[in-house]
Chain A
Amino acid sequence: MAATLSPVMKAAVIQFPGSNCDTDCEAALKSFPGVEAAIVWHKETSLAGYDAIVLPGGFSYGDYLRCGSIARFSPIMGAVRDAANAGVLVIGICNGFQILCEAGLLPGTLQRNTGLLFRCEHRHLRVENTATPFTSVLHKGQVLDIPIAHGEGNYFADPETLRQIEENGQVVLRYCDASGNVTPEANPNGSLGNIAGICSHGRNVFGLMPHPERVCDPLLGGTDGRGIFQSMIEAVQKAKA
């Protein structure tokens, strides 16, 4: 019977020209039993049949202009928007987060890091909201250890937008210290409110600067990224049940 079982989650990893975490995301997803993951070229126009869509990290179109500002015009983005509106899970990691903001699927924008330099390092994150399809297996206040790698991860939104996303519980992850304290010192890039990840008002679109796919294997320095993908799988299972 095993061969005929449908996958527990079927994920599309969008490959923009210049994506470079696409195969990393694919491998991380496939490390979960029963998960299918496929790389989908940005010139495709349909995402029918996928339970989840991943916009991976990288430098789409070289990011010579504002990060993500060209990728949002890629042919596939129409299908991403339709899927998001239909409630399909969409996660944007790093450059994928930037693209989701540029596409208007998430509020706010990501500016140049305050220190002006690219930063690649492990970071602590505090889980702010577990009532999302991306954090349901985590605990509120839990501290995760997930690396960042970006030059433009400084989250910004106008005061009204910021107030709304805070009130709506859309702030999902914040940079913090090892004990979970959200401090200026724990903020690597100048993000407002130490924001590292936010979700849409409908909860099914999630963007984050840290790279959960990089901590899904104990040999690579940790497994704290697995909870995010596990939550997605459980949400898909629940929706199918």
Chain B
Amino acid sequence: MSNPAITPELIAKHGLTPEEYQKVLDILGREPSFEELGVFSVMWSEHCSYKNSRPELRKFPTTGPSVLVKAGEENAGVIDIGDGWAVAFKIESHNHPSAVEPFQGAATGVGGIIRDIFTMGARPVFLMDSLRFGSIEGDSEQAKTNRRLFAGVVAGIAHYGNCIGLPTVAGEVYFDESYSGNPLVNAFCLGILRHEQIARGAAEGVGNPVFYVGAETGRDGLAGAAFASRELTEESKADRPAVQVGDPFREKLLLEACLELLATDAVAGIQDMGAAGLTCSTCETASRGGTGVEIDIQLVPQRAKGQTPYEVLLSESQERMLVIVKKGKEDIVKRIFEKWDLPYAEIGKVTDDGKMRVRNGSDVVVEIPARSLADDGPLYHREAAPFTPPAQLDLSSVPQADPDAVLPRLLAHPSIASKRWVWRQYDHMVRTGTAVLPGSDAAVFIVREANKILAAATDCNAVYCRLDPTVGARIAVAECARNLACSGAVPLGVTDNLNFGNPHKPENFYQLRAAVEGISEGCRAFGVPVTGGNVSLYNESPAGAIDPTPTISMVGRIDDASHITTQAFKEAGDQVYLLGGTGNELGGSHYLLAIHGRKEGAPPAMDFDKEKAIHAALLGVIRKGLVRSAHDCSEGGLAVAIAESTFGTRCEGHDRDGGLGATIDLGATNDRPDVVLFNETQGRIILSSKASDAASLEKELSASGVPFRKIGEVTANAELSIKTGTNAYAWKVADLQKTFESAIPNLMES
């Protein structure tokens, strides 16, 4: 079979601009082969090269005393957690594949991020997911499609995570029209390792053999990285072959085999084959090692006969790794991979000429300087549109809705309602470390082998980001930190997933730049580094760009098991406090969105100093043992937060923490009741304390100087009553909880 001639049409089909093609000619000093054109196409896609976002990403704070491996250096960042232990964690998107094939798209997203973690030498210990879909309410074709995407994505995540045996312990799911046709699927994985176990993705040691291990290469996921770097259109369904097919069983074997191999001293370098598959792993390892790598396509284990070198190079078949083995230790690889019944093959060697060279038997089909391919790709400084901050919400234009009816409606809004339907499909307890089950502010996980307690949360309110991306991104970081504080943890590090529209459009590029700015400010304020992450651009459907969604995942540490705190009220008679004041900012709120159908106004302000002081005060009283529950106020404001605290966090049939109510009095006010109950002013926490500890708690909080107020008491009668000024409202907790719990099942199972 002969390769096609290199024509301008073929070049354009590979997503390379005439200028980029000229750069290819300059690097090679000749016309590229068909295979080389494919290699440049995927390596210089946004997904692999970050050519549109790299100048912005450099603004992130990435250093700190605890940083062992910095963002961008390797497959994932690594952070010291003490006693010789470290964590590797990262979040990554699989948005486009999930839009055309939700089950496999989401499943392979999970598989890919797990490989990124064990490539670092870390044993993966838990997963989280941040998901966004269009509205799932109503009978429209679009709503049906969105429900199908939602069900498919959740099933795909469950399939992969459950089978490989990693608990999915936390996450977030939002529903908004802007994601119709372009859902977001961001998967997070955290792994644990000893400092000395950190593995590198560098091809070190000239003459060392290069091994291919794991699943055979097939034709799935051909040029998926390039596919992910285009806008989704009506025709995108034809790109289904660009979606990979996952095999979590193979990955489980690959994980165990690789960790067993890394525990020997046989490995000089290791790299997973993710986006751009064999191409990316060979040229990146050579580039990092300052060496060259030469491989022979004919030696690669293949699933189908008759695949061309082009197909083998660009396949994104899953569950494969490239391992640079120390010469003379080949038998160790053979022994371990035979034990696990996994394919392996010696496919090449490390060279000293700096070239990525691919042979097809005796023919050389690719010969490119590895460093220029990996590091000298195009870089664009895109234009950002000028931005006018949104006007403050004109409250007089918002009719007052009756809080009696609003609270249940907010609790039934799919973005706020219980996500039990989702997490019940995930095994969230395997590996026996989940100390706080999904549904509280942050997941808390005990890492048995390291004797460490970790907490993790993922957040992003994209409505705020749509209205003002800088402020929205600041809030995303602060909310993560607040969720960690509510669980008793101090933050260690951040990984981010920047989901935006086409960067060629100046208004989209402004959003990206502003969000990076906001995240950077937030990370500096909380003293945490960005340890890595992922950029997903071109998130557009025919209806336009998604709301800018810079998803933040934050990992924290809890020093002592007695500090683990959940959001659920614990016992009648406990005193309820509000930290941070009642607030009055309604702009960008879910009350405005869900009840009045308006996505407008300025989002709530973010005052990092106030926020940090509140977290510090909260952690202080948690560590003194004075706090029985803590819950942050987010979407839906105070009323939703208090209602959630009355629900309890245990699973079906288990109301051990539930069956309680609360009597709340928010005091005198000049604000409208809807403003008091549902505003989303930041930096507010509902906490409860034993009555006998109340005096000590108040003394501590007074000394900390943060605004706080006793607002009521937990009651044995399961009713929630809230007074604000002269207005009083009451709901049966059982009714509210039923509304909260049944909203998503009713939509999905009808």
Task: Tell me if B431 is interfacial: C-beta within 8 Å of chain A.
Answer: yes
Task: Tell me if B537 is interfacial: C-beta within 8 Å of chain A.
Answer: no
Instruction: Write out the residue numbers on chain B whose beta carbons fall within 8 Å of the beta carbon of A20.
Output: 163-165, 252, 430
Q: Which of A53-68 contact B (CB under 8 A)?
A: 57-59, 61-64
Instruction: Write out the residue numbers on chain B whose beta carbons fall within 8 Å of the beta carbon of A63.
Output: 163, 249
Q: Which label, helix, strand, loop or mixed, suits the secondary structure of the A interface?
A: mixed
Name the residue on A nearest B436 (C-beta).
A221
Contact of B429 among A18, A27, A178, A211 (CB under 8 A): A211
Tell me the smallest distance from the CB of B108 to a CB of chain A, in Å.
Answer: 15
A118–B431 touching, CB < 8 Å: no
B430–A21 touching, CB < 8 Å: yes
Query: Taking A59-B249, A122-B652 as contacts, is the C-beta distance between A214 and B429 under 8 angstroms?
Result: yes
Query: Taking A18-B252, A217-B432, A219-B561 as contacts, is the C-beta distance between A122 and B162 under 8 angstroms?
Result: no
Sorting the interface of chain A by its residue count into under 10, 10 to 19, 20 to 34 or 35 or more gives: 35 or more
Query: Taking A17-B341, A124-B653, A220-B435 as contacts, is the C-beta distance between A62 and B425 under 8 angstroms?
Result: no
B654–A178 touching, CB < 8 Å: yes
B651–A21 touching, CB < 8 Å: no
Contact of A24 among B423, B425, B431, B561 (CB under 8 A): B431
Instruction: Write out the residue numbers on chain B whose beta carbons fall within 8 Å of the beta carbon of A64.
Output: 249
Task: Tell me if A160 is interfacial: C-beta within 8 Å of chain B.
Answer: no
Tell me the smallest distance from the CB of B117 to a CB of chain A, in Å.
Answer: 16
Task: Tell me if A186 is interfacial: C-beta within 8 Å of chain B.
Answer: yes
Name the residue on B nearest A64 (C-beta).
B249
A121–B652 touching, CB < 8 Å: yes
Instruction: Write out the residue numbers on chain A whose beta carbons fall within 8 Å of the beta carbon of B423.
Output: 120
Apart from A118-B425, A120-B428, A216-B432, what 13 extra A-B contacts exist at CB < 8 Å? A21-B165, A61-B249, A119-B425, A120-B162, A120-B423, A122-B650, A149-B162, A149-B429, A151-B162, A178-B653, A213-B432, A219-B435, A221-B437
Instruction: Write out the residue numbers on chain A whose beta carbons fall within 8 Å of the beta carbon of B561.
Output: 219
Task: Tell me if A177 is interfacial: C-beta within 8 Å of chain B.
Answer: yes
Name the residue on B nearest A41 (C-beta).
B339
Name the residue on B nearest A23 (C-beta).
B431
Task: Tell me if B434 is interfacial: C-beta within 8 Å of chain A.
Answer: yes
Chain A: residues with CB nearer than 8 A to chain B? 17-21, 23-24, 27-28, 41, 43, 57-59, 61-64, 117-124, 145, 147, 149, 151, 177-178, 186, 211, 213-214, 216-217, 219-221
Tell me the smallest distance from the CB of B749 to a CB of chain A, in Å.
Answer: 9
Tell me the smallest distance from the CB of A235 to a CB of chain B, in Å.
Answer: 24
A120–B341 touching, CB < 8 Å: no
Chain B: residues with CB nearer than 8 A to chain A? 155, 158, 162-165, 247-250, 252-253, 339-341, 423-435, 437, 446, 448, 561, 564, 650-655
Name the residue on A nearest B154 (C-beta).
A117
Contact of B248 among A59, A117, A147, A214 (CB under 8 A): A59
A120–B425 touching, CB < 8 Å: yes
Instruction: Write out the residue numbers on chain A whose beta carbons fall within 8 Å of the beta carbon of B446.
Output: 219-220
B650–A17 touching, CB < 8 Å: no
- Distance between Cα atoms of A41 and B257 in the complex (Å): 13
- 9 tightest A-B CB contacts, nearest first: A20-B165, A62-B249, A121-B651, A59-B163, A122-B651, A24-B432, A149-B427, A120-B427, A118-B425
- Distance between Cα atoms of A147 and B432 in the complex (Å): 11
Tell me the smallest distance from the CB of A54 to a CB of chain B, in Å.
Answer: 14
- Distance between Cα atoms of A213 and B429 in the complex (Å): 10
Instruction: Write out the residue numbers on chain A whose beta carbons fall within 8 Å of the beta carbon of B431.
Output: 23-24
A118–B158 touching, CB < 8 Å: yes
Tell me the smallest distance from the CB of A223 to a CB of chain B, in Å.
Answer: 12
- Distance between Cα atoms of A23 and B164 in the complex (Å): 13
Instruction: Write out the residue numbers on chain A whose beta carbons fall within 8 Å of the beta carbon of B448.
Output: 27
Instruction: Write out the residue numbers on chain B whose beta carbons fall within 8 Å of the beta carbon of A17.
Output: 249, 252-253, 340-341
B653–A120 touching, CB < 8 Å: no
Name the residue on A nearest B654 (C-beta).
A122
Name the residue on A nearest B435 (C-beta).
A219
Instruction: Write out the residue numbers on chain B whose beta carbons fall within 8 Å of the beta carbon of A177.
Output: 653
Instruction: Write out the residue numbers on chain A whose beta carbons fall within 8 Å of the beta carbon of B433.
Output: 220
Q: Which label, helix, strand, loop or mixed, suits the secondary structure of the B interface?
A: loop
Instruction: Write out the residue numbers on chain A whose beta carbons fall within 8 Å of the beta carbon of B425.
Output: 117-120
B429–A147 touching, CB < 8 Å: yes
Instruction: Write out the residue numbers on chain A whose beta carbons fall within 8 Å of the beta carbon of B164.
Output: 20
B432–A18 touching, CB < 8 Å: no
Name the residue on A nearest B425 (C-beta).
A118
Tell me the smallest distance from the CB of A6 to a CB of chain B, in Å.
Answer: 26
A58–B432 touching, CB < 8 Å: no
Name the residue on B nearest A119 (C-beta).
B424
- Distance between Cα atoms of A61 and B340 in the complex (Å): 11
Name the residue on B nearest A213 (C-beta).
B432
Instruction: Write out the residue numbers on chain B whose beta carbons fall within 8 Å of the beta carbon of A147.
Output: 429, 651
Query: Taking A20-B252, A20-B430, A27-B448 as contacts, is the C-beta distance between A58 and B652 under 8 angstroms?
Result: no
Instruction: Write out the residue numbers on chain B whose beta carbons fall within 8 Å of the beta carbon of A122.
Output: 650-654
7 A-B pairs in the complex with CB atoms less than 8 angstroms apart: A18-B252, A19-B165, A43-B339, A57-B430, A62-B247, A122-B651, A123-B653
- Distance between Cα atoms of A59 and B564 in the complex (Å): 32
Query: In this complex, which of B425, B428, B650, B654 has the most chain A Cβ atoms within 10 angstroms of its Cβ?
Result: B654
- Distance between Cα atoms of A220 and B431 in the complex (Å): 11
Instruction: Write out the residue numbers on chain A whose beta carbons fall within 8 Å of the beta carbon of B250.
Output: 62
A118–B427 touching, CB < 8 Å: yes
Name the residue on A nearest B252 (C-beta).
A18
Instruction: Write out the residue numbers on chain B whose beta carbons fall within 8 Å of the beta carbon of A43.
Output: 339
A186–B427 touching, CB < 8 Å: no
- Distance between Cα atoms of A224 and B448 in the complex (Å): 20
Name the residue on B nearest A218 (C-beta).
B561
- Distance between Cα atoms of A19 and B165 in the complex (Å): 8
B654–A24 touching, CB < 8 Å: no
- Distance between Cα atoms of A186 and B650 in the complex (Å): 16
B653–A18 touching, CB < 8 Å: no
- Distance between Cα atoms of A17 and B254 in the complex (Å): 11
Tell me the smallest distance from the CB of A125 to a CB of chain B, in Å.
Answer: 11
- Distance between Cα atoms of A118 and B430 in the complex (Å): 14
- Distance between Cα atoms of A66 and B449 in the complex (Å): 33
Instruction: Write out the residue numbers on chain B whose beta carbons fall within 8 Å of the beta carbon of A211.
Output: 429
Contact of B426 among A18, A57, A62, A120 (CB under 8 A): A120
Name the residue on A nearest B438 (C-beta).
A120
Tell me the smallest distance from the CB of B652 to a CB of chain A, in Å.
Answer: 5
Contact of B432 among A121, A124, A214 (CB under 8 A): A214
- Distance between Cα atoms of A213 and B163 in the complex (Å): 18
B654–A58 touching, CB < 8 Å: no
Instruction: Write out the residue numbers on chain B whose beta carbons fall within 8 Å of the beta carbon of A27.
Output: 432, 448
Instruction: Write out the residue numbers on chain A whose beta carbons fall within 8 Å of the beta carbon of B341.
Output: 17
Tell me the smallest distance from the CB of A94 to a CB of chain B, in Å.
Answer: 10
Query: Taking A121-B424, A121-B651, A122-B653 as contacts, is the C-beta distance between A59 and B162 under 8 angstroms?
Result: yes
Tell me the smallest distance from the CB of A214 to a CB of chain B, in Å.
Answer: 5
Query: In this complex, which of B165, B253, B426, B561 has the most chain A Cβ atoms within 10 angstroms of its Cβ?
Result: B165
Instruction: Write out the residue numbers on chain B whose beta carbons fall within 8 Å of the beta carbon of A123.
Output: 652-653
Tell me the smallest distance from the CB of B127 to a CB of chain A, in Å.
Answer: 13
Query: Taking A17-B249, A220-B446 as contacts, is the C-beta distance between A118 and B432 under 8 angstroms?
Result: no
- Distance between Cα atoms of A221 and B428 in the complex (Å): 13
Tell me the smallest distance from the CB of A103 to a CB of chain B, in Å.
Answer: 20
Name the residue on A nearest B444 (C-beta).
A219
Tell me the smallest distance from the CB of B384 to a CB of chain A, in Å.
Answer: 44
Instruction: Write out the residue numbers on chain A whose beta carbons fall within 8 Å of the beta carbon of B426.
Output: 118, 120
Instruction: Write out the residue numbers on chain A whose beta carbons fall within 8 Å of the beta carbon of B165.
Output: 19-21, 58-59
- Distance between Cα atoms of A59 and B446 in the complex (Å): 23
Instruction: Write out the residue numbers on chain B whose beta carbons fall within 8 Å of the beta carbon of A119.
Output: 424-425
Name the residue on B nearest A120 (C-beta).
B427
Instruction: Write out the residue numbers on chain B whose beta carbons fall within 8 Å of the beta carbon of A57.
Output: 430
Tell me the smallest distance from the CB of A184 to a CB of chain B, in Å.
Answer: 13
Instruction: Write out the residue numbers on chain B whose beta carbons fall within 8 Å of the beta carbon of A62.
Output: 163, 247-250
Query: In this complex, which of B162, B432, B437, B564 has the most chain A Cβ atoms within 10 angstroms of its Cβ?
Result: B432
- Distance between Cα atoms of A219 and B446 in the complex (Å): 9
- Distance between Cα atoms of A120 and B422 in the complex (Å): 10
Tell me the smallest distance from the CB of B125 to a CB of chain A, in Å.
Answer: 11
- Distance between Cα atoms of A217 and B164 in the complex (Å): 23
- Distance between Cα atoms of A24 and B340 in the complex (Å): 20
Query: Taking A62-B248, A149-B162, A219-B561 as contacts, is the C-beta distance between A120 and B424 under 8 angstroms?
Result: yes
